[in-house]
A and B are shown apart, each in its own frame.
Chain A
Amino acid sequence: MRYPLGDRILLIEGDSSFLLAGRALSEFPLYIETLNGEYCETISPDDLVVISAPEGGDTEPAQMLLELVRRYRLPLLVLPKDHPGSKRLPLVVSVSASLLLSCTIRRGTHPDQHLLCSSEELAGITLKGSDGCIEIGGVPSAVRISYLDERAAGVITH
């Protein structure tokens, strides 16, 4: 499934969790801060900024976080494996041209941007950004997809 994005944000919802996905919109250096040092990755306008909320909740803070990363270039912080703070993260971020949602990783501990922690109901979904659009694969039938600014208008069928 392919959805035009422009500067809009797509909401991918399960019963108890959700993802937000938007284009990076511009080229910029993304800083990835780890215990072992700082890495710098060049982000392209069609790369995706994806926020995962494995426990669901309000979409507003997730939207704020997405904009902090893509418009205000907030660095990403990576926790070391087994850090106690991992379980306290309600939102996790990945910025990549393509990525896979997985429920078998620990939140906030993977610097590899092609993999993002999700709930089990959204695991296996693949996202890829290109030509102003997002391509989504592996979507379970119960998952709903809509544009964040058009939620009242209803769900996109897929």
Chain B
Amino acid sequence: MGDIEFKERVKGKDYKCKSCGEKFKGVGKHPICPSCQSDDVAPE
């Protein structure tokens, strides 16, 4: 079985939650905090 080589792997952006301070890598357009579910997050 062959395998596709992807140049683009998952590239998460670093975010910090303004509500609880959790730092996380988010993917997608609408990041929410994995700890408190707040959408008040900012890129680091």
A82 — nearest CB in chain B belongs to which residue?
Answer: B3
A27 — nearest CB in chain B belongs to which residue?
Answer: B32
Question: A28: which B residues are within 8 A, CB to CB?
Answer: 37
Question: B10: which A residues are within 8 A, CB to CB?
Answer: 32, 34, 39, 111-112
Question: B2: which A residues are within 8 A, CB to CB?
Answer: 104
Q: How large is the interface on B (under 10, 10 to 19, 20 to 34, 35 or more residues)?
A: 20 to 34
Q: Is the CB of B4 within 8 A of A42?
A: no
- Complex Cα gap A39–B34 (Å): 10
| Total CB contacts across the A-B interface at under 8 A | 55
The listed residue (B3, B8, B25, B27) touching A105 by CB distance below 8 A is B3
Q: Is the CB of A42 within 8 A of B32?
A: yes
Q: Is the CB of A41 within 8 A of B27?
A: yes
B27 CB to closest chain A CB (Å) equals: 5
Q: Which B residues fall within an 8 A CB radius of A?
A: 1-4, 6, 8-10, 12, 24-34, 37
